[in-house]
Homo-oligomer: A and B are copies of this chain.
Amino acid sequence: MEQAKALNFMDFAASLTDLEGEAKEALASKLHTKQYDKGELILETGTVCNRIYFIDSGLVKTFFYTNTREFIMRFFPEGKMFTVLDSFLTRQPSTYSILTLESTHITYLNHADLEQLCARYHSMETFFRKLLSMAALNMMDRIGNTLEEKAQVAYHRFLKEQGKLLQRISLADLASYLGITQVSLSRIRSL
């Protein structure tokens, strides 16, 4: 169920479901693109997330703040789809923000358009269902890991599973992804 390496939104969709010609055209006609510089906010806390994004190139993080610290839900590099799922589904203001960690080019689809496409084309609903399945699986994994692991184990797991990303994110960001402080991560790395 790992998402295939897709170059763009349409390929990605096709890798999940066979979209018949008509659905495919309808989907393509609803897509938009946008370019962000490094360090730009794609979505800000308190805003409803109206879009589902595909990353053509670049890297983003989804995160939230508490009183004292920042916590990162996930990183998304090129070839992945993402959104702030709770806000996107419930239409409520998001507690998460999205920030680009690199110059990033995205393709997106609006919530209303997706709903309409799902209502009209069974195959689009299948696509969306599989997308949600992947999202749910990823999150389930993350819960299990977060519950189970000491920071040290979590760090090494990250190295193994997403080591490539380490070249592209700061240690501060990795720490807040792991749920620890940057100082604590530095300590772990030195062992």
Give the B-binding residues of A (Cβ under 8 A).
Answer: 1, 64, 66, 71, 73, 85-86, 89-90, 95, 118, 122, 125-126, 128-129, 132-133, 135-137, 139-144, 146-148, 179
Contacts and interface: CB of A to CB of B under 8 A. Distances in A.
* Count of this chain's copies in the oligomeric assembly: 2
Contact of A71 (B64, B118, B142, B144): B144
Contacts of A71: 144, 147-148
Given A122-B122, A129-B132, A90 B137 contact: yes
Contact of A1 (B90, B128, B144): B90
Given A71-B144, A86-B137, A86-B140, 11 more contacts: A89-B133, A95-B144, A122-B122, A128-B129, A135-B136, A139-B139, A143-B143, A143-B146, A146-B146, A146-B179, A148-B179
